[in-house]
Amino acid sequence: MNKKYERYINYIVNDIQAPYFKNMRDSYGLSPNEYELILSKVFNQPVNIQGVYNDNYVYDNQYHKLYQESSNGFWVRYEYDKQGYITYHEDSTGYWVKYGYDYHGNEVYYEDSHGYIEDNR
């Protein structure tokens, strides 16, 4: 990758906001073959992109869904702990949820953006 292109890619990675696919296409004029490069840098790990009908999905190497986006711009982003349990997700409406687990993988903490908290630790 030449230096100018590398600087451009890094600019996009630092600038881009969700909805990622819509913005990569419409705001930055990227081609679909560049999406994986951008999103691998956004998510700080290798990613696999899959499309089904009007939705795009981004997975990590363990096939955890990191992100999904519909053609209407609705998106959901996910985070996981080292054991593969979902710890956080947020969507384009501003709704978010945090989860916590014990050593056995049982959910012991739940909090959402509506103010609901359940703490069973």
Q: Write down the pTM of the prediction.
A: 0.91
Both structure tokens of 120: 């069973």
Claim to verify: residue 94 and residue 60 sit in the same structural domain: no
93, burial (CB in 10 Å: exposed 0-12, middle 13-18, buried 19+): exposed
Claim to verify: residue 72 and residue 55 sit in the same structural domain: yes
Both structure tokens of 61: 């190497």
Give the angle 68-52-80 at the CA atoms, nearest 5°. 30
Q: What is the pLDDT of residue 97?
A: 98
Q: Which tens digits make up the pLDDT trace of 46-101?
A: 999 999 888 999 999 999 999 999 999 999 999 999 999 999 999 999 999 999 99
CB 79 within 8 A of CB 87: yes
Residue 56 CB neighbour total at 10 angstroms: 23
Q: Which residue range is the domain that position 13 belongs to?
A: 1-77
Both structure tokens of 66: 């990191």
Q: What is the pLDDT of residue 1?
A: 74
What percent of the chain has pLDDT above 70?
A: 100
Number of domains the chain is built from: 2
pLDDT for residue 121 is more than 90? no
